Amino acid sequence: MDDLTLIQANHSPLTEAVYSWSQLLSPLILLITFILATALHGVFASQKEENALQTEAKGPGGRPLPVTKMRRNAAGTDMTECSFGRASRRTFQGATTLIVLSFAANAANLAAQVMANADRLLPKTSYIADKPPQQWWCREESFVYVVGTGSLYGYVLLTLFDWKDSPNFVHFLVWSVSLITDSVVLGALFARVSESYTVTSNENLVGPAGNDIADLAIGAFRVANLIGVLALYLSLAGRRTFTVAEKREQEAETQPQSQSQVQNRRRSGSRRNRENGNDENTPLLGQRQTSQNGYVTMNGNGRDRENRRSSQNGTANAAQGPVNGQSVGPNREAEAAFYRPNKLPHKTWWEYARGYSLFFPYLWPRDSRNLQLVVLLCFVILILQRIVNVVVPNQTGQLVNSLQDTLNAVDGRSMPWRDLALLIGSKMLQGQSGLLGSIRAILWIPVSQYCYRALTTAAFEHVHSLSLDFHLSKRTGEVLSALNKGASINQFLEQVTFQVFPTLVDLFIAIGYFGWCFNSVYAVCVSVMTFAYLFLTVRMAATRADQRREMVNADREEEAVKNDSIVSYETVKYFNAEEFEFNRYRQAIRNYQAAEANVTWGINNMNICQNLVFMVGMLLLLIIGAYDVVIGARRIGQFAELITYLGQLQGPLNFFGTFYRTVQQAMISGERLLELFKISPTVVDRPGVRSLPPSKGHIRWNKVKFWYDGKRPALKDISFECKPGTTTAFVGESGGGKSTIFRLMFRYYNCHEGSIEVDGQDVKDLTIDSVRRAIGVVPQDTILFNESIMYNLRYANQNATDEQVYEACKSASIHDRIMSFPEGYNTKVGERGLRLSGGEKQRVAIARLILKQPQIIMLDEATSALDSETEQQIQSQLINGNHLGQDRTLLIIAHRLSTITHADQIIVLRAGMIAEKGTHSELLKLNGKYASMWEKQSKAERAALEARDAARRAEKLARQAKFAKVSGKQQDHTDDSDGCYGNTSAGSSTVLQATNALSEDSSTSDDDTHKKPSNDNKTTNQPPPPDL
């Protein structure tokens, strides 16, 4: 407006002002309306699509935790979520298309008006000396109105096709506000026409302008179209609401639920929602996760599988009960907190904002004043960087203008040193790699390390504080993956704080800068180019991220095939499956290369589209700027400033191509870490508990009941007493409850009924730490750290001396074996101790137990890998040795009954109950379960002993025969008897061969004695065979 002098007649200033300002403000008002309505829609949609389960748990330092989100069951979808029908949606899409076409008609009419009356639209001044102002190219207000509002309606039309719930209240609000603004523009235009607005052309007076008449007709059509769209929306929305209410009433009448069904559902729901819907038995990654669209995600060995449609599997899984006494979690059909989809789910702006507000407290170092000052300083630098981004193009224009003024100067020329120095200085400060960006990055290092250290250590400590339920039911790989997500929170916070927010601010600053320093035409062009670029980038980045995830999955599958085939080398050879493995690996590579080609194609396709959109917008702006320079409306420096600023915008816009999914993945990963803190242990100390004083080892169980899943009891009415210094053995069938007793004793679980007492005190009234310090355990499967033997031994007692370690190992009969290793006690045991044999690991564990010096000892098949003699020797050391003393209470789980005959009491368990109890002799007299087990094992041991004796005798005879044969050859004597012995295989090593040799020798020895006595005389002077 300020740059134009309009030749006009017979119109009031008020009418002209209303018409001009209504055109200028209309796109801005609609844009604000659309942004606010979309923001509210994102909030409501986020809460509507997912059930948000609030938690009372807090993260480290009392900071907030994310809500646990679970998708609703498809069968329980609310009918109010249904969108309009297909015909209705097409009607709204068609009506909005007509609105967009009406703005295209306005643009064509505006172009015709410019061509016809361009010589009458003149700028006020010219920047070029001695050159009259040239003709203006367009009316500013009309251009802003047509291009700005038309572009916004184009995006609204895209949302009608793209949004699943369209049309919604966002479109309704845009249509409503547009009806008001277009009505104002139409009324002002009608007033102009009625006041006989005219223009002069070739000194002839023209009547009401034909272009205004056309605009009036187009505007009237658009207003009528908006009225019809709003009426149709209100009519269909009201009818849909009535239909939904009617259907609800019908369903309530036709599908009543019995009171018992409701109560059962409430009970199961309360059990599923225990611990705020996230107890320790919830699988981190369920075997099958059924999503809303009916697909089932297979999560076999930790690798993402392709989604398969399997409603039957989902139903079957929902019907399955607990497996192996482990709970299946709060909701089998819900996504677990640690769910990793094949494709990243779409997230609204509200979820990003909520995630940032959730993570920021973990970023803020509230315990360190110095780091708080560093954070504030980084934000100050961030503000300075925004100022520098404006100064650089402005200073570029100033420098060019100074050079132009120097060239045009009459009195002399001088170098513009000041402008040149300011430009160089501002360029040094600009960008992430500039001086300010580098200083900010350096200052941020301790803050980032603080955040990572605080989160990961807190998560690590939290996982160790969780009960055994968690570690038995969760996949270790998923837990470790979640623990490694501390860096993802840093990544999310840094990207959003120092890249996303600044980039958005830069874009809005650029729009405002062009509108202020140039005019609204430039601002509208930049706005349309920017939003079109962002829309295209976000849409294509979503597809590209899904393609990249498929490529990553294919790469993981290729590595898995290669790894499985090499690890299973012997199996491949056993079945001559080389060709099959080769073909399988070739197919895995083909799948990976196909996915890789899709990713490469997608990246290049997105780059082409991005550059096309940006270059079209840049071309339009440069044409406008060049034309302004030619006609004298702008200086050359402003054109250089325009080019510089547009070049600065391209970098931030390109960043959004990688930001969208990268930040989303970082936020999802960060939420997985924070979800860990919502899982609470099932066994915790009661308020006001006390520590266990130095224990005497007196144990009493009083009618203890326990169950894992709440249905089938694992222990029923277990009562027994272990006095100090006694040995109690537990025997019985597998699954009888022996290991459960040890777990309850060590307080991995709490009993549901009854009590467990140590020295007359209920263990629930004692701290978990003090109870566990009084107990030493040697498990059946000993796990060792991948460190030296000395490290593993001292793990029980960090202050133990070398001499104490040596004595403990001697008591465990492992010292000599360790000293035979090349590196002795510094020998690495390998992952989980796999470089040691089973017996060696058990003896290391026993030595570690001796170093701990517990009052209560629990051996869970701790010597099963040892021979009976060594086993009894070690148990004797544990009971009567000098290292532990004779007052230790010993609990033993054993399947080899011969090793527990010395026990003070033997408890026989069956189906979670005590079937028999007494000493070895007492139980044999009962002639019950224990006696039957003893008889079977005795027969088996006698048979094994006889087999071993027979093997030894056979080996002895074979060696004697070999010796006799060698001696006979030396004396050149050969006879049938020597041949008989010589044919006996001295190298036989199996019991079967030894037994056969023994039977053959015994069957022929008597005959040879009677038939060939001379043979004996021949060998009497020979030296006797060695006694083996």
- Could you report the per-residue pLDDT of 200-221, keeping only the tens digit for each? 444 444 444 567 788 889 999 9
- Is there a domain that residue 648 lies in? yes
Mean pLDDT of 163-183: 89
Q: Please state the φ and ψ torsions of residue 720, each to the nearest 5 degrees.
A: -165, 170
Burial 152-172 (b: 16+ CB within 10 A, else e): bbbbbbebbeebeebbbebbb
Q: Please state the φ and ψ torsions of residue 339, each to the nearest 5 degrees.
A: -65, 130
Q: At what angle do helices 578-630 and 520-567 cross, to 10 degrees?
A: 170
Mean pLDDT of 7-18: 69
Mean pLDDT of 634-650: 88
Burial class (CB in 10 A: 0-12, 13-18, 19+), 416: middle
Q: Please report the pLDDT score of residue 174 as a whole number.
A: 92
- Is there a domain that residue 559 lies in? no
- Is there a domain that residue 778 lies in? yes
Terminal Cα-to-Cα distance of the chain (whole angstroms): 118
Q: Please report the pLDDT score of residue 366 as a whole number.
A: 77
Q: Please report the pLDDT score of residue 874 as a whole number.
A: 64
- Is there a domain that residue 483 lies in? yes
Residue 75: how many CB atoms within 10 A of its CB?
6
With a cut of 70, say whether residue 5 has pLDDT above it: no
Ranges of H-type helices in 568-635: 569-574, 578-630
Regarding whether 676 and 748 lie in a shared domain, the answer is no
3-state secondary structure 617-678: HHHHHHHHHHHHHHCCCCCHHHHHHHHHHHHHHHHHHHHHHHHHHHHHHHHHHHHHHHHHCC
Q: Please report the pLDDT score of residue 99 as a whole number.
A: 93
What is the residue-wise DSSP string for 336-377?
Answer: PTT---SSPPP--HHHHHHHHHHHHHHHS-TT-HHHHHHHHH
Q: Please state the φ and ψ torsions of residue 550, each to the nearest 5 degrees.
A: -65, -35
With a cut of 70, say whether residue 341 has pLDDT above it: no
Q: Please report the pLDDT score of residue 628 as a whole number.
A: 84
Task: Report pLDDT digits (tens) over 372-430.
Answer: 899 899 999 999 999 999 999 999 988 998 888 887 766 666 788 888 899 999 889 98
Regarding whether 207 and 161 lie in a shared domain, the answer is yes
How far lies 891's CA from each of 763, 876, 1026, in Å? Answer: 17, 14, 46
- Is there a domain that residue 622 lies in? no
Task: Report pLDDT digits (tens) over 458-483.
Answer: 888 888 888 887 777 776 767 777 77
Q: Please report the pLDDT score of residue 702 as a whole number.
A: 92
Tokens of 559: 């590595």
Query: Could you tell me if 962 and 984 are in contact, meaning their C-beta atoms sit under 8 angstroms apart?
Result: yes
Task: Report pLDDT digits (tens) over 251-277.
Answer: 555 544 444 444 444 444 444 444 344
Residues 207, 197: Cα–Cα separation, whole Å? 7
Residues 884, 878: Cα–Cα separation, whole Å? 6
Regarding whether 818 and 909 lie in a shared domain, the answer is yes
Domain boundary among 934, 950, 968: 934
Regarding whether 795 and 894 lie in a shared domain, the answer is yes
Query: Could you tell me if 805 and 840 are in contact, meaning their C-beta atoms sit under 8 angstroms apart?
Result: no
What is the residue-wise DSSP string for 442-462?
Answer: HHHHHHHHHHHHHHHHHHHHH
| Nearest by Cα to 720 from 755, 692, 764 | 755
Beta strand 856-860 with 889-893 is parallel
With a cut of 90, say whether residue 177 has pLDDT above it: yes
Find where tokens 């060590």 sit: 746
For residue 722, the cross-strand partners are 699
Q: Please state the φ and ψ torsions of residue 722, each to the nearest 5 degrees.
A: -120, 110
Question: DSSP 3-state assignment of 860?
Answer: strand
Residues 721, 257: Cα–Cα separation, whole Å? 51
- Amino acid, single-letter form, for residue 898: S
Mean pLDDT of 757-785: 88
Instruction: Choose between 299 and 890: higher pLDDT.
Output: 890
- Tell me the residue range of the domain where 508 lies: 354-518+634-682
What's the mean pLDDT when you consider all of the chain? 74
Domain boundary among 934, 956, 987: 934
Mean pLDDT of 296-310: 35
Task: Report pLDDT digits (tens) over 858-885.
Answer: 888 766 656 666 666 666 665 555 455 5
Instruction: Choose between 551 and 297: higher pLDDT.
Output: 551
Regarding whether 992 and 852 lie in a shared domain, the answer is no
How far lies 370's CA from each of 61, 360, 367, 491, 747, in Å? Answer: 19, 17, 9, 22, 43
Regarding whether 174 and 34 lie in a shared domain, the answer is yes
Mean pLDDT of 139-148: 86
Q: Please report the pLDDT score of residue 142 as a whole number.
A: 86
Q: Please report the pLDDT score of residue 324 as a whole number.
A: 34
Q: Please report the pLDDT score of residue 863 as a whole number.
A: 64
- Is there a domain that residue 497 lies in? yes
Regarding whether 441 and 512 lie in a shared domain, the answer is yes
| Nearest by Cα to 361 from 60, 120, 658, 152 | 60
Task: Report pLDDT digits (tens) over 843-854.
Answer: 888 888 888 888
Residues 538, 534: Cα–Cα separation, whole Å? 6
Domain boundary among 254, 289, 311: 254
Q: Among 596-605, 879-888, 904-913, where is mean pLDDT lowest?
A: 879-888
Q: Among 301-305, 567-571, 722-726, 943-947, where is mean pLDDT lowest?
A: 301-305
Residues 943, 949: Cα–Cα separation, whole Å? 10
What size, in residues, is the chain? 1028
Q: Please report the pLDDT score of residue 411 as a whole number.
A: 65
Q: Please report the pLDDT score of residue 990 as a whole number.
A: 36
Instruction: Choose between 425 and 540: higher pLDDT.
Output: 425
| Nearest by Cα to 813 from 870, 859, 854 | 870
Q: What is the CATH number of the domain that holds 829?
A: 3.40.50.300
Q: Among 267-271, 439-443, 822-826, 910-914, where is mean pLDDT lowest?
A: 267-271
Beta strand 889-893 with 727-732 is parallel
- Amino acid, single-letter form, for residue 432: Q
Query: ∠776-911-750 over CA atoms, to 5°?
Result: 45
Q: What is the CATH number of the domain that holds 402?
A: 1.20.1560.10
Which residues touch 490 (CB under 8 Å, ≥6 apart)?
Answer: 363, 448, 451, 452
Whether cis (ω within 30° of 0) applies to the bond prior to 341 is no
Burial class (CB in 10 A: 0-12, 13-18, 19+), 424: exposed
Instruction: Choose between 797 and 240: higher pLDDT.
Output: 797
Regarding whether 974 and 996 lie in a shared domain, the answer is yes
In Å, how far from its chain's centre is CA 949?
Answer: 60
Query: Could you tell me if 856 and 889 are in contact, meaning their C-beta atoms sit under 8 angstroms apart?
Result: yes
- Is there a domain that residue 389 lies in? yes
Residues 516, 525: Cα–Cα separation, whole Å? 14
Regarding whether 425 and 394 lie in a shared domain, the answer is yes
Beta strand 727-732 with 713-722 is unpaired
Regarding whether 968 and 889 lie in a shared domain, the answer is no
Alpha-carbon torsion (391, 394, 396, 400), positive or negative:
negative
Q: What is the enclosing helix (H) or strand (E) of 915?
A: strand 913-918
- Is there a domain that residue 579 lies in? no
Q: What is the enclosing helix (H) or strand (E) of 777?
A: strand 775-778
Find where tokens 């001499």 sit: 803
In Å, how far from its chain's centre is CA 641?
Answer: 46
Residue 902's pLDDT band, with cuts at 50, 70 and 90, is: confident
Q: Please report the pLDDT score of residue 218 as a whole number.
A: 92
Q: What is the enclosing helix (H) or strand (E) of 296?
A: strand 295-298
Q: What is the enclosing helix (H) or strand (E) of 295?
A: strand 295-298
Tokens of 341: 């989809």
- Amino acid, single-letter form, for residue 476: T
Instruction: Choose between 718 and 963: higher pLDDT.
Output: 718
Regarding whether 911 and 991 lie in a shared domain, the answer is no
Kindly report the pTM of this predicted structure. Answer: 0.65
Task: Report pLDDT digits (tens) over 486-515.
Answer: 677 777 778 788 888 888 888 889 888 988
Number of domains comprising the chain: 4
With a cut of 60, say whether residue 157 has pLDDT above it: yes
Mean pLDDT of 438-445: 91
Query: Could you tell me if 197 and 57 are in contact, meaning their C-beta atoms sit under 8 angstroms apart?
Result: no
Regarding whether 10 and 126 lie in a shared domain, the answer is yes
